[in-house]
């Protein structure tokens, strides 16, 4: 008889989630993050998360715009429409969801209640083999940004799998010249 050795989100998540009300000021939120040495807060006024705020959000949406942190609430700048995950989901599914959506944190919700948070660090600590998935996504994101300015980068063709010095984009994929020509001819 084979044992089920699937690693779940519950196995890797942090169950003690620091939360804040949407009416909390940015200054107070930053104080919480500093005191607990965390990079984000889940925002909720009931049981289910309404949003998320990160250190990057504070820098990008408040500090860089010279807005006084005591005069703006986290509800005004939080990321809404969160992608949530169930604690029983497989960890590799969570890693794929994070990679696909280019996010590093997933609130874990069970029957409408926040029960934890899963970060990319949690995933890597429990299942280092998933590192490749997250690193590959980061590499592809960097290449996409680079392509917007340069149009061509070295890498692996998403169709044939060959490494080439120059990849082009076609229908949102990185392709070698040969595969791109084949698709254009269809």
Least Cα distance to 19 among 6, 4, 32 occurs for: 32
Judge contact between 144 and 30, C-beta under 8 A: no
Find tokens 């069970």 and name the residue.
110
Judge contact between 13 and 45, C-beta under 8 A: no
Q: Is 167 exposed, middle or buried (0-12, 13-18, 19+ CB in 10 A)?
A: buried
Q: Is 167 annotated as a binding-site member?
A: no
CA separation for the pair 145, 105 (Å, rounded): 22
Exposure string for 69-105, b = 16+ CB within 10 A, e = fewer: eeebbbbebbeeebeebebebebeebbebbbeeebbb
Q: Is 32 annotated as a binding-site member?
A: no
Q: Is 176 annotated as a binding-site member?
A: yes
- CA gyration radius, the chain: 20
Q: Is 120 annotated as a binding-site member?
A: no
Residues flagged as binding site for Zn(2+): 157, 160, 176, 179
Residues flagged as binding site for Fe cation: 157, 160, 176, 179
Residues flagged as binding site: 157, 160, 176, 179
């Amino acid at each position: 008889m084979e044992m089920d050795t699937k690693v779940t989100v519950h196995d890797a998540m942090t169950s003690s989630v620091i939360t804040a009300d949407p009416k909390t000021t940015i200054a107070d939120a930053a104080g919480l993050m500093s005191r607990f040495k965390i990079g984000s807060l889940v925002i909720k006024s009931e049981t289910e998360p309404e949003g998320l705020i990160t250190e990057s959000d504070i820098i990008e949406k408040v500090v860089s715009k010279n807005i006084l942190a005591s005069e703006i609430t986290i509800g005004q700048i939080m990321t809404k429409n969160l992608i949530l995950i169930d604690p029983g989901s497989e960890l590799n599914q969570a890693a794929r969801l994070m990679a696909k959506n280019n996010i590093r944190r997933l609130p874990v919700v069970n029957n409408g209640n926040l029960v934890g948070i899963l970060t990319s660090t949690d995933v890597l600590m429990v299942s280092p083999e998933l590192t490749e998935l997250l690193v590959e996504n980061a590499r592809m994101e960097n290449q996409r940004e680079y392509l917007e300015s340069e149009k061509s980068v070295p890498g692996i063709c998403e169709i044939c799998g060959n490494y080439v010095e120059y990849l082009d984009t076609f229908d949102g994929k990185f392709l070698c010249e040969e595969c791109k020509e084949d698709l254009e001819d269809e």
